[in-house]
Structure 1
Amino acid sequence: MAKSGTPQPVSWTRTYFRDVFNSGELLWNLTQREVRGKYKRTALGQLWSLANPIAAIIVYTFIFSVVFQVPAQIGDPSGLDNYALWLVCGLLPWLFFQSTITQGVRSIVDNSSLVQKVYFPRLVLPLSLTGAGVVNWSFEMVVLVIALSIFGAFVLPWLPMVALFMLVLAVFAAGLAMILAIANVFFRDLAYLLTVILQFWFYLTPILYPISLVDNQSERWGGLLGTPVTLADVYRLNPMEPYVSIFRDLLYHNTWPAPSAVIAALLWALGTFALGLFYFTKTEKRLAELI
């Protein structure tokens, strides 16, 4: 048996992944518990999942479209000219991502009694929260697609691509949630620090404003500190930037997303998920004693 902190045998890793695969029913039950329990005994039930996005859309639309008069983007080739719809196409992916990692970071600590008493692949804890988030997000996206269609967007042919990149973003969010969930076991302040980080992250992502404003400012500044690296280059290191761009292209503009955005989104998803799996399998056997 390997000592604590040393690389785990390949045979144990294979056994672990087999256990995860065989825990599909547990994952499904935990996901259902999250979906149903969140709005249990409420009159509106699942409709409450729309409350936060609608409130955010109203507030941000008033502040940025009416007060600051950020120009609405013209859909190309959809022809849409509506700031609220443009906003929500980028806001819903962000809200899903934010919800997944803020809940996922506490997924192990909040279930410490279960982790200490019963053996099961702990990986299903953050994955179940991701699954529940996807269910809520899908409900919100149905409403958005209906609204876009009413205002003249031709969304139907793009729905398979939308569903595909919803899955890609879910993989990225799940990978990051796994990493944060393990890190939170060692550093309990992380869950609180994350809320602060997300506030900065939100405004550094082109959700409320078009990325063209960043590009224009980048051209004015030129290379940073005398280097060929521009503000736009640094800005696009934000892993959520390609996802927002992709969803806006598909839903609002009704066009293919830029290949660079697609490649970046896939790399972030696969890389983060692989790192999360490695981190989990390395720490899994010690979680009960660490908590």
Structure 2
Amino acid sequence: MSAEALQTPGRGSGFADLFRSRFLLKLLVAKELKVRYRGSVLGLLWSYVKPAVQFVVFYVALGIFLNMERSPTNASGLPNYAIYLFSGIVLINFFTEALGNASRSIVGNGGLIKKIYLPRQLFPVASVWVSGVHFVPQIIILLVACLFNGWRPGLLQLAAAAAGFLIVALLATGLGLLFGAVNVYFRDAENLVDMLLMIATWASPVLYSWIMVRDKLGETFFTVYQLNPITVGVEAFHFAFWLPTTDGAESIPPHLLSVWIPVGLAISGLVLLTGQLVFRRLEGRFAQEL
């Protein structure tokens, strides 16, 4: 047998395995959904309940108590703050759920991994897909709310929304592969991911305006702030869903479409590549370490 035909046991073929094992990937996604809602009364309705409660809490605390909602007596607030807030929440919820579950997916499926061989990469990717299933009901609610507020999307808005979601999905997948692999060897990775997810909502303009960051911290820090792909994804969602519901007087970050969205895609792609390389390097000993 030639050396080229030999493969290290336990190592897959990277992203090619996702295409070859796409039916198995569908089964893993279905399994994750069934296990998650086994014995649950509401089932998939939790995809509506959780973001609704989160939205109400943030809207009351920030929109009403801290005057983030523009009103006749508060000209400094944001118009249609409810749309602004929810369009950020649906995207950040997708990211936090996808990364949190993907980073635990290998350890959580340790029993299966130790019994048979199947491409290990399927587990974190399946977790991201499950989060995508939960994302769909939330985006439908957002679309309905936007339509009631006069939203008439153009191709540019729809393209920006797709780009924003793609940026966050690539980032979540890349980090999920990275931390999912490292977590097998060092369980402290779970705690690190929990801290990152706690910071993620506040490190991007989900609850506040990007103008606050620029005015308070200056242009230099704002440029660093814009290098966060989640920030770019949220701003793309605001441009796509919130901005068309305003009177047009509001603004988006400079060069969002021409510079920051391509930069966000490039950074997320680099993170995905890095996560894939680390995952392939470590996956050979998953069964032994688990």
- TM (normalized to structure 1)? 0.84
Whichever residue aligns with residue 16 of structure 1, its letter is S
Once the 2 structures are TM-superposed, how far is the Cα of residue 167 of structure 1 from its aligned partner? 3.4
Higher mean alpha-carbon deviation, 64-73 vs 115-124, is at 64-73
Once the 2 structures are TM-superposed, how far is the Cα of residue 15 of structure 1 from its aligned partner? 6.5
CA distance in 2 between counterparts of 1:278 and 1:117 reads: 24
Tell me the equivalent position of 2:238: 248
Once the 2 structures are TM-superposed, how far is the Cα of residue 273 of structure 1 from its aligned partner? 1.1
Say if 1:169 and 1:9 are closer, same or farther in 2 by CA, change over 3 A. Answer: farther
Tell me the equivalent position of 1:89: 87
Tell me the equivalent position of 1:174: 173
Say if 1:165 and 1:213 are closer, same or farther in 2 by CA, change over 3 A. Answer: closer
Once the 2 structures are TM-superposed, how far is the Cα of residue 96 of structure 1 from its aligned partner? 0.5
Say if 1:130 and 1:120 are closer, same or farther in 2 by CA, change over 3 A. Answer: same
Once the 2 structures are TM-superposed, how far is the Cα of residue 206 of structure 1 from its aligned partner? 1.2
> For 1:148-227, what aligned pairs fall within 5 Å after superposition?
148-155=146-153, 157=155, 158-159=157-158, 161-219=160-218
Deviations 1:138-163 (A, max 9, x none): 22101110111011111375446534
Once the 2 structures are TM-superposed, how far is the Cα of residue 130 of structure 1 from its aligned partner? 0.5
Is 1:284–2:268 an aligned residue pair?
A: no
Choose which of 116, 119, 122 in structure 1 pairs with 2:120: 122
CA distance in 1 between counterparts of 2:206 and 2:163 reads: 21
Tell me the equivalent position of 1:113: 111
Once the 2 structures are TM-superposed, how far is the Cα of residue 72 of structure 1 from its aligned partner? 4.5
Whichever residue aligns with residue 83 of structure 2, its letter is L
Is 1:239–2:229 an aligned residue pair?
A: yes
Once the 2 structures are TM-superposed, how far is the Cα of residue 165 of structure 1 from its aligned partner? 3.7
Deviations 1:33-68 (A, max 9, x none): 223332344343322111111111111111111111
Once the 2 structures are TM-superposed, how far is the Cα of residue 251 of structure 1 from its aligned partner? 1.3
Tell me the equivalent position of 1:146: 144
Tell me the equivalent position of 2:258: 259
Q: Secondary structure at the match of 1:207?
A: coil
C-alpha contact 1:107 1:125 (8 A) present in aligned 2: yes
CA distance in 1 between counterparts of 2:160 and 2:221 reads: 30
C-alpha contact 2:12 2:280 (8 A) present in aligned 1: no
CA distance in 2 between counterparts of 1:56 and 1:153 reads: 23
C-alpha contact 1:149 1:155 (8 A) present in aligned 2: no
Q: Is there any run of 5+ residues in structure 1 with no aligned partner, and where?
A: 2-7, 74-79, 220-228
Higher mean alpha-carbon deviation, 81-90 vs 195-204, is at 195-204
C-alpha contact 1:206 1:241 (8 A) present in aligned 2: yes
C-alpha contact 1:168 1:265 (8 A) present in aligned 2: yes
Deviations 1:187-221 (A, max 9, x none): 102212321232223212111100100111134xx
Report the identity percentage: 27
Whichever residue aligns with residue 114 of structure 2, its letter is Q
Tell me the equivalent position of 1:52: 50
Choose which of 13, 27, 40 in structure 2 pairs with 1:16: 13
Deviations 1:88-140 (A, max 9, x none): 11111111000111111111111111111100110000000001111110221
CA distance in 2 between counterparts of 1:187 and 1:198 reads: 18
Once the 2 structures are TM-superposed, how far is the Cα of residue 9 of structure 1 from its aligned partner? 7.2
- TM (normalized to structure 2)? 0.84
C-alpha contact 2:167 2:230 (8 A) present in aligned 1: no
Higher mean alpha-carbon deviation, 134-143 vs 199-208, is at 199-208
The number of residue pairs the alignment matches comes to 270
